[in-house]
Amino acid sequence: EIKSNEPSSIISKKNAIINKVVAKSGQPVVKEGDVVYEGQTLVMGMIKNKTEEFMMVPSEGIIYGKTYYNFELREEKAKNIEVDSKRSKNVYYLQLNGSSIKIIGDKAPFENYNYKERTVKIPIVSNLSDIAVVKGTYYEQVVKAVEIDEETAKNKMKISMYDDLLKMCGVDARILKSSLNYAEDVDYYYLRAQIEVIEDIGEKVRLYPVQDNNVEAEQ
């Protein structure tokens, strides 16, 4: 982490068009309307002192830039999901001293299933010894094709797009313009979008003094 009193510059975190420069210290080297690229210096931590010599200083400020994000998403028109078939089968285990012995029923009677179990206490016997009956129930699950309507698909793609956008932008980002284009074919719905955003694109980098390596040649 760069300390507030350390010499530093501010560079761009991403490609952008400069919207506004608010520099509290350091020397701005870009202005509104400039196109900048990732890694380019925005505020330089070098200024001239009263004797016209350059000195390193900490850079402070916020540089707002217009950035553009492109998205391409698709959503299936039909999905296979597992649903309860309403069929179930039970299996019983005798639990004794930490071990289980199957006494009734078949294990995994269905290809796809959800399984739940509960312990059935035996009156008097369970109180006197570590014996219990475990009842397990297998609920059959079957695969069913479910059609996805257009509005549901559009909403899902938009939510996914904005979730991704939030991960790419800072918390202070503001959306200026959204261009959303939808299409479809036999199997899919599609979303192609471009989002124009204003955000702080600056990132501090530490400045190091340049060492003078010039050595006078011996006569």
What's the pLDDT tens digit per position in 54-87?
A: 889 999 999 999 999 999 999 999 988 888 888 8
CA-wise closest residue to 20 among 187, 210, 176, 125: 176
Residue 122 lies in a domain: yes
**pTM exceeding 0.95:** no
Assess whether 121 and 168 both reside in one domain.
Answer: no
8 Å CB contact between 201 and 67: yes
Structural domain boundaries enclosing 94: 79-146
For the stretch 184-200, pLDDT in tens is 999 999 999 999 999 99
In sequence order, what are the beta bridge partners of 71? Answer: 193
Residue 84 CA neighbour count, 13 Å, CB half: 8
Give the end of a domain, one of 146, 167, 193. 146
Residue 131 lies in a domain: yes
